[in-house]
Amino acid sequence: MTTTEFATLQRSIEQLRQSVAHVRDAFGDAPVVRRLVNDLERLEIDAGELASAVPARHPNLPEHVAVPDTPLDESMWSDADDEGVGGYHGDRT
């Protein structure tokens, strides 16, 4: 996560904190408001942990796959239909 991305995340959390405060003012200490406050606290904790985490690399992805330019063996396609309307159901020779 870049510094810019983290700053954007922090700003978004701050905006959410203000929104939750307005909801708390409007609805008081209702159970749903307490859950929102708890969710916000969890989001702040997770964002803090994310700030110190090392981004994961993409393991198990092949670096390079070679695709040969040589023609394929025509016998591989002997029983396959041609693409198109209706296909081809005859002898290919």
Print pLDDT tens along the chain (93 aa).
678 888 999 999 999 999 999 999 999 999 999 999 999 999 999 998 988 887 776 667 777 888 889 988 888 877 776 666 565 556 655
- Evaluate whether residue 93 is within a structural domain: no
Is the Cβ–Cβ distance between 23 and 33 less than 8 Å? Answer: yes
- Evaluate whether residue 64 is within a structural domain: no
- Evaluate whether residue 37 is within a structural domain: yes
Q: Which residues contact 57 (CB under 8 A, 6 or more apart)?
A: none
Domain that includes residue 21, residue range: 3-52
DSSP secondary structure, 22-82, as one string: HHHHHH-S-HHHHHHHHHHHHHHHHHHHHHHSPPPP-TT--S------SPPPGGGGTTSPP
- Evaluate whether residue 77 is within a structural domain: no
Short-list 18, 15, 13, CA closest to 48: 13
Count of domains in the chain?
1
Q: What is the structure's pLDDT at 51?
A: 82
Q: What is the structure's pLDDT at 55?
A: 74
- Evaluate whether residue 74 is within a structural domain: no
Q: What is the structure's pLDDT at 72?
A: 83
- Evaluate whether residue 18 is within a structural domain: yes
- Evaluate whether residue 39 is within a structural domain: yes
